[in-house]
Amino acid sequence: MIKEIFFKVGEEEVECFTDTLMEMGALSVSVECIEGAEIIKDEESFTKEYWELNKVAALIHSEDEAIFQALNPFDIQQVLDKDWVLEMQKNTPVQVIADSLWIVPSWHKIPKEAKTVLLLDPKNAFGTGDHPTTHLCLEWLVKNSLEGKRVIDYGCGSGILMIAAKKLGAKEVQGYDIDPSAMKVARQNCEENGVFDPIDLDTEAADLVLANIHLGPLLHLVDTLYQLCKPKKTLVLSGILPFQLTDLLSSYLPYFELVSVDTHKGWMRVVLLKKVL
């Protein structure tokens, strides 16, 4: 039996709070503005992803309700029985990135007009292409030549970026994630897409390093990502909200040159070039 549990969460706590819910066993988490709360814009007029006061909703197993009660929800509702796999399938469409890369779940037919196809079902790992941060990284991969390049995806989640890189011409791809379950999913997705490059990192630096993760880990990974990137080669970061850009750049610009900053649905992609110190 499934229940939906609701919380009121301030703007600065949303990311940490939603991560906590997932770690506690929530089946899914969503965020929307509390009715009447004002949407705030930062000084550069970007709309923030979160609002001054947010309604965070989580689907949970009813037997876990007591655990989540400790977080002081304001409402709990019974959810009518559904075929959740079918519901997920109906709500996971084919995605097209820059008219070049088709991300196709297994229950869809591959469109005749599809050029490069990446087969991917939603699983227990981040990265299906629908989140703005993943979309931004995929868009960059599509629009830039990867021929003959070695690519590392640090924090690979489902493996979607490394698979896309390989299908778009990369010579070699590797991935790493701190979550063992994500690594397992990434290996499965690689095999299903005919990508059999080693998924565990070695010490060889890459022509392109991707890191689609939150700001907190990115601030701690400056040295690691610097070492993984070849001199004068590219680092692509995503998972950043506009008000976090200053902190990110203050940590990275001593070691990298800024190439570009782009936004999609309130999230940012930052492209950097490694300096030779």
Is pLDDT above 90 for 189? yes
Q: Kindly state the average pLDDT of the residues 84-111.
A: 77
Q: DSSP secondary structure string, 26-65?
A: -SEEEEEEPTTPPPPB-TT-PBPSS-SEEEEEEEEEGGGH
Does residue 120 lie within any of the structural domains? no
Is pLDDT above 70 for 90? no
212 and 137 in a common domain: yes
pLDDT band at 12 (very low <50, low <70, confident <90, very high): confident
269 and 132 in a common domain: yes
137 and 77 in a common domain: no
Does residue 86 lie within any of the structural domains? no
Q: What is the per-residue pLDDT for 37?
A: 45
Tens of pLDDT, residue by residue over 218-234, are 999 999 999 999 999 99
Does residue 108 lie within any of the structural domains? no
Does residue 116 lie within any of the structural domains? no
pLDDT band at 266 (very low <50, low <70, confident <90, very high): confident
Is pLDDT above 50 for 56? yes
158 and 30 in a common domain: no
Could you give the CA distance from residue 170 to residue 175 in angstroms, rounded to a whole number? 13
CB within 8 A of 57, min separation 6: which ones?
Answer: 4, 5, 6, 7, 29, 30, 31, 32
pLDDT band at 212 (very low <50, low <70, confident <90, very high): very high
Listed residues 81, 116, 151: the one ending a domain: 81
Q: Indicate the range of 207-211, 239-243, 255-259 predicted with least confidence.
A: 239-243
178 and 236 in a common domain: yes
Domain with 49, as residue range(s), is 2-81
Percent of the chain with pLDDT over 90: 45
191 and 55 in a common domain: no
- Say which residue the tokens 């070039």 belong to: 273
Eight-class DSSP state of 144: S
Is pLDDT above 90 for 142? yes
Whichever domain contains 39, its CATH number is: 3.30.70.120
131 and 77 in a common domain: no
Whether the pTM exceeds 0.85: the reply is: no
239 and 166 in a common domain: yes
* Bridge partners, residue 240, by sequence: 268
Whichever domain contains 234, its CATH number is: 3.40.50.150
67 and 160 in a common domain: no
pLDDT band at 45 (very low <50, low <70, confident <90, very high): very low
Does residue 115 lie within any of the structural domains? no
Mean pLDDT score of the chain: 85
pLDDT band at 209 (very low <50, low <70, confident <90, very high): very high
Does residue 119 lie within any of the structural domains? no
Listed residues 81, 109, 139: the one ending a domain: 81
39 and 138 in a common domain: no
Q: What is the per-residue pLDDT for 124?
A: 62
147 and 58 in a common domain: no
Listed residues 81, 116, 149: the one ending a domain: 81
Tens of pLDDT, residue by residue over 103-128, are 998 878 888 888 899 998 877 656 77
Is pLDDT above 50 for 27? yes
Does residue 44 lie within any of the structural domains? yes
130 and 69 in a common domain: no
The upper half-sphere exposure of residue 270, i.e. CA atoms within 13 Å in the direction of its Cβ, equals 27
Q: What is the per-residue pLDDT for 35?
A: 56
